[in-house]
Structure 1
Amino acid sequence: MRTVLIPTDFSKNALHALRYAQELYKCERACFFIFHAYADEVYGEYKTASHEQIAQRKADKKQEIERNLDQMLEEVVGTPPNPLHTYESIASFDTLVDGINDFVDDMNIDLVIMGTKGETSNHKTTFGSYTIEVFKYVKCPVLAVPEEFEYRQPKNILFPTDYMLPYKRRELKLLGDLAGKFKSNVYCLYITDFEELSPRQEDNKMFLEEVLTRPYIFFETTGVQNRADAIMEQVSEKNADMLVMVNSRHSFFEDMLYRSTVDLLSLKMKIPFLVMQNLNR
């Protein structure tokens, strides 16, 4: 059974992410954990409050959030409900990233799916600061779904990679299972001006072929240019339904985050973005 965590702030885009998750796993047994972390809501406005005031605020906030979670579930379970799906709601007195990481470890979560704001939001980027924090620090694959994206099967998946990472088998299997059930095309894109691969790159490329056996896999290269522009060109050319990247230290993805290139990419991103982690779990 697939285990999926959906963080929610009870916004429209969080609800949209949950509905996307339901469609993505419509024909598969899945347990959806609807998660809200509320420590910041308790402490944020009461920095000089007494212990008694904090305790009362914590209890009141927990009751309020549990009501909101129950209401959210009532909206999405469906009539009749999908017999393959089960739901649990979690109100966690923790910060978002720490709470997600602890829950991911405790419940062995396969995938985190979260909604992201559209271009017209006040942030003016698809990926808000909370989403980027989750991308960077949560030890689990994270799928960000743009607010305006209407669900369609991920038939064409773009996977930019430099073949330098020792990919984690569990992470690739998640991608392989997802792409395999939809008979998807996975386009591994290498942005380079050199044709030959090093022995390390060849080994990692071979590992991709060994693990991604269910979808149709293609290996392509494009010349060096602005990486965000290169990716967006390929998203358009391949009519991609999903973008996949791997987060690891000293990786292309990390370079994007720290150099703010991700902002340029996110302004134009109209499709779900799956970030696989190369971290020990």
Structure 2
Amino acid sequence: MKKILLPTDFSANALNAICYAMELFAGEECLFFLLNTYTPVLYDNEYLTYSSTQPTLTEIYRNKSQQGLERVRRRILRKYKNENHHFELVSSFNLLSDELKEIVKEKKIDLVVMGTKGATGAEEILFGTHTVHAIKKTRCPLLAIPAHFEYRPPKNILFPTDYETEIPGVLKIMRNIVDTHNSAINVLHVYSELNLTESQAGRKKALVRAFKDNKLNFFSITDKTVTRAIYDFTEENEVDMLVMVNNKHSFFENLLFRPVVNEIGFNVKVPFLVIPSNKKS
């Protein structure tokens, strides 16, 4: 049974991501962990005079969190009647990124699915702050769903790679999605050198072997930044999901964690699956 973690702050954006997960894994048996974290404000002097019969701020926040999770669960069950889907509610007094890290390890989570609003204006980056922290701290694949994105089957997947990561071992969740939805994988290599190194060529062959039963299309682009190449490809071709391996020694972290609006105003408009590499610490 697949274990999927669904963080929610009870916003429409979070609910949209949860609905995407219900659709994406409609045909699979899954245990979904609905997670809400809360951090009550600091107590002020006036509040410290409360009667011992009154609930504490922590209790108030915990009750609101638990009630909100139950409302989300009921809403999902009304909209998606699926006997293969099971739910566990988790309400935690913790920071979201810290709780994600703990639950992923404790529950052996296969995938985190969460909504992201991204950022706007001069400080624009690919994701909002919560999503970036989650990606940096969580040793687990994470699927970020843009706000207002309506579900459609991921028939066309864009997979940019520099062939610097050992491929087959880290792509289990991608293989699952590809096999379930009969997806085509568009492999995008942005390069400055004319030829692949011996190790890069070996990893490309490993990718071909790993997805030998699937449709693979290879694209090589030069004289462009990775960001521009991804942007242009998504503008010129139908893309339903973007998948990247978070190898801190590759182009990924520069792409993910630096402002890019001054370059092309790039923003992720489709679900973005981020897969940690085996070597990432």
For the criterion TM > 0.5, the same-fold answer is: yes
Counterparts of 1:207 and 1:47, CA distance in 2 = 60
Q: Is 2:43 aligned against 1:46?
A: yes
Q: Give matches, 1:105-116, under 5 Å.
A: 105-116=105-116
Q: Structure 2 regions of 5+ residues with no counterpart?
A: none
Alignment of 1:1-281 (within 5 A): 1-38=1-38, 41-42=39-40, 44-46=41-43, 56-78=56-78, 81-117=81-117, 127-167=127-167, 169=169, 171-261=170-260, 267-279=266-278
Give the alignment's TM-score, normalised by structure 1.
Answer: 0.88
CA distance in structure 2 between the aligned counterparts of 1:245 and 1:7, rounded to whole angstroms: 21
Task: Please give the alpha-carbon distance, in whole angstroms, between the structure 2 residues aligned to 1:251 and 1:79.
Answer: 41
CA contact (8 A) 1:173 1:211 kept: no
The alignment partner of 1:14 has SS state of: helix
Change in 2 beyond 3 A, CA 1:220/1:244: same
- What one-letter code is carried by the residue in structure 2 that aligns with 1:198? T
Do 2:231 and 2:266's aligned partners in 1 also have CA atoms closer than 8 Å? no
Matches of 1:137 and 1:254, distance apart in 2: 13
Structure 1: tracts of 5 or more residues without a match: none
Percent of aligned positions that are identical: 34
1:254 is displaced (CA, Å) by 0.7
Whether the 8 Å contact between 1:13 and 1:147 is mirrored in structure 2 is: yes
* Counterparts of 1:122 and 1:25, CA distance in 2: 36
How much has 1:125 moved relative to structure 2? 5.8
Q: CA deviation at 1:120?
A: 7.5
CA deviation after TM superposition for structure 1 residue 261, in Å? 2.9
Deviations along 1:17-42, one digit per CA (max 9) or x if unpaired, are: 0000000011111111111122xx22
Letter in 2 for 1:269: V
Amino acid at match of 1:25: F
Residue 261 of structure 1 aligns to a residue whose secondary structure is: coil
Q: Which amino acid aligns with 1:268?
A: N
Residues 145 and 214 of structure 1, relative CA distance in 2, 3 Å threshold: farther
Q: Structure 2 vs 1, CA of residues 79 and 129 (structure 1 numbering), >3 Å: closer, same or farther?
A: closer
Give the AA of the match of 1:159.
Answer: F
CA–CA distance in 2 between the matches of 1:21 and 1:92? 22
- What secondary structure, in the 3-state scheme, does the structure 2 residue paired with 1:92 have? strand
CA RMSD of aligned residues (A): 2.8
In 2: Cα distance, 1:276 partner to 1:211 partner: 16
Q: 1:216 to 1:237 in 2, by over 3 A?
A: same
Taking a change above 3 Å as real, the CA distance of residues 85 and 133 of structure 1, as seen in their structure-2 partners, is same
Aligned-pair CA distance for 1:279? 4.2
Alignment length (residue pairs): 275
> Partner amino acid for 1:150?
E
| Alpha-carbon distance, 1:181 to partner | 1.4
Contact 2:21 2:113 (8 Å CA) reproduced = yes
Normalising by the residue count of structure 2, what TM-score does the alignment of the two structures yield? 0.88
Q: 254-263 or 76-85, which moves further after superposition?
A: 254-263
More off after superposition, 109-118 vs 64-73: 109-118
Partner-residue secondary structure (3-state), 2:100: helix
